[in-house]
Amino acid sequence: MPEGDTVWRTARRLDEALTGSTLTRTDFRVPAHATLDLSGRIVEQTLARGKHLLTRIGTDHTLHTHLKMEGSWHLYRHGSRWRRPVHEARVVLHTEEWQAVGFALGITEVIAREDEHAVVGHLGPDLLGPDWDEAEALRRLGADPERPVGDAILDQRNLAGIGNMYRSELCFLAGVHPARPVAEVPDLARIVRRAKQVLEANKERAVQTTTGDLGRGRQHWVYRREREPCRRCRTPVRRAEIDGRGVYYCPRCQPA
């Protein structure tokens, strides 16, 4: 599942290409909206809320999409060949200049503008949003002190934007085992601040790094490096399961 910085960058690209333009055609390829036609309406804005995308169309509609595991948004000039199969398209928005195609989206729904809160109101403070509130994020994380920290920081209801890659990397950078209870984390605020720092640093680029190195295979400390030597102590990196997802850690740098 994409990290929050990837979704932020997707929103910016859509916003730059579509905002202010009139939709000349819309094609919603999901049963609930198969007959919906929003052509003639102006795209007002596209913004990210955590890992959710909200494209505001006209004065009263919002296209709510989520990339989930395999989704992506592409922008094409008219006549250009699509880079993903046609059958994966869930929505196509046409303007005079662009075709915006949402492929394999996990969520594709059109809602009333006034109902946006119903789809994103459950989210915690957005690490890349204007509403970022460190104190509120820490309050939410601390509300369940026995929960494993690697699980708690992934929960979008606590703070929005961290995915599986960043949770492994953030726990490593803090020297904290991902299964350690929140209450036993020496400096929870440090993890939250570092999360803000790394997402801000990576939101402008396609290649994400937590090591500061953009070279292939050198961007991460532990993520997807099972059995490879830790970059700090050379101990083999391990993989564990938390909430059904793999999390990576160094048993020496992050003792249980």
Cβ neighbours of 174 (radius 10 Å)? 22
Respond yes or no: is residue 245 known to be catalytic. yes
Q: Which residue has the tokens 């984390």?
A: 185
Alpha carbon distance 247, 4 (integer Å) = 18
Catalytic pick from 3, 49, 169, 180? 3
Catalytic pick from 41, 44, 245, 251? 245
User: Closest Cα partner for 113 from 162, 59, 72, 65?
Assistant: 59
Three-class SS string for 35-97? CCCCCCCEEEEEEEECCEEEEEECCCEEEEEECCCCCEEEEEECCCCCCCCHHHEEEEEECCC
Catalytic pick from 51, 167, 180, 203? 51
Respond yes or no: is residue 51 known to be catalytic. yes
Are the C-beta atoms of 216 and 224 separated by less than 8 Å?
Answer: no
Catalytic positions are 2-3, 51, 245
